Amino acid sequence: MNQLEQLKQYTTVVADTGDFQLIKAYTPQDATTNPSLILKAVQKEEYKHLLEKVARDHRELPTSKVADHLLVAFGLEILKLIPGRVSTETDARHSFDTAATVEQGREIIKLYEDAGIARERVLIKIASTWEGIRASQVLEQEGIHCNMTLLFSLAQAIACAEAGATLISPFVGRIYDWYKKNTGIEPVGAEDPGVQSVKRIYNYYRKFGYKTEVMGASFRNTSQITELAGCDLLTISPELLQELSNSEAPIERKLSAEAAPSAHVHKMSIDEKTFRTMLNDDAMGTEKLAEGIRLFSADAGKLKQLIVALR
């Protein structure tokens, strides 16, 4: 078996793309999208028609609402190709506004349900700020499942689990990027701080009985992926999916619920003060969270500009 086939024995593989053809090629269980991926997709000739149709059909709506329709239009096409769930992201500019995030999450789910899709097949992606985590708690209580993104620290992970979030997406590659930039060292394999962060979170969840799923994300190389074999899910770019498909090197399971109880992690309870203090003390987590929100906000803005140009 190639490495992708081996990985699927231990971990649910998720495609990190808005490109339908690539999703079809790699047959993942689930798929994730974000404004950056949708922005990249709609600039390809084969997907421009979706942008044009949504802009035309919803000309009377505010641009932000048209953008939601566009994200859902991509999600609906993706759901035709996968057996599992698609993740659709809320506006990053709502990252510090619990009420606005809750409202948008409800609206996105309604668009899917109006199209005949059960809410069980959709994950609402929300930035893992304190306000975003509180929004996820409200939505989860309404049966709207959440994927907590832009997650870089154990404090964020614990707060998400205590809020009852369905899934978290710790960003392996962006953690790696920060350490490489700030230390000049290129860590590999088990020494990679992004890999270590996800292992710590996974073991914490399984040791203390949290049901929240862990989906490693934002990979820079296949070594990071294979070091997390056994994680609940891994969302992988098409380029790295191809690399895994091209290799037959053996993959060993590195994470399991059975091994988690022996992990050296201690139970913590995270209230708002503790959350903010721990995140503030974590320079990497603070910087990457802020940077991620800025980048997703910028790409969401560019997507809206494309919509405005067609109206």
What is the rounded CA–CA span in Å between residue 125 and residue 114?
19
pLDDT mean over 8-25: 94
Tell me the per-residue pLDDT of 199-212, one tens digit each, with 9 for 90 and over.
Answer: 999 999 999 999 99
State the CATH number of the domain containing residue 120: 3.20.20.70
pLDDT mean over 76-83: 97
Sequence-separated (6 or more) residues with CB below 8 Å from residue 101:
90, 94, 95, 126, 131, 132, 135
Tell me the per-residue pLDDT of 134-157, one tens digit each, with 9 for 90 and over.
Answer: 999 999 999 999 999 999 999 999
* Residue 3 and residue 226 in contact, taking contact as beta carbons nearer than 8 Å: yes
Share of the chain above pLDDT 70, in %: 100
**116 confidence band (pLDDT: 50, 70, 90):** very high
Q: Is 167 helix (H, G, I), strand (E, B) or coil?
A: strand
pLDDT mean over 24-45: 93
Mean pLDDT over all residues of the chain? 96
**286 confidence band (pLDDT: 50, 70, 90):** very high
Tell me the per-residue pLDDT of 209-243, one tens digit each, with 9 for 90 and over.
Answer: 999 999 999 999 999 999 999 999 999 999 999 99
Q: Specify the amino acid at residue 124.
A: I
pLDDT recorded at residue 267 = 95
Q: Is residue 44 annotated as a catalytic residue, yes or no?
A: no
Q: Which residue of the set 44, 53, 80, 125 is catalytic?
A: 125
Report whether pLDDT(311) > 90.
no
* CB atoms inside a 10 Å sphere around CB 173: 18
* Residue 31 and residue 87 in contact, taking contact as beta carbons nearer than 8 Å: yes
pLDDT recorded at residue 229 = 98
Q: Which two tokens stand for residue 239?
A: 């380029």
pLDDT mean over 269-285: 97
Tell me the per-residue pLDDT of 80-93, one tens digit each, with 9 for 90 and over.
Answer: 999 999 999 999 99
Is residue 38 exposed (0-12), middle (13-18) or buried (19+ Cβ within 10 Å)?
buried
Measured CA distances, 310 to 45, 115, 214, 302 (Å):
15, 24, 39, 13
- Domain with 265, as residue range(s), is 3-309
pLDDT mean over 152-180: 98
Residue with tokens 């609206």: 107
Share of the chain above pLDDT 90, in %: 98
pLDDT recorded at residue 56 = 95
**What is the domain count for the chain?**
1
On whether the pTM is more than 0.75, the answer is: yes
pLDDT recorded at residue 249 = 97
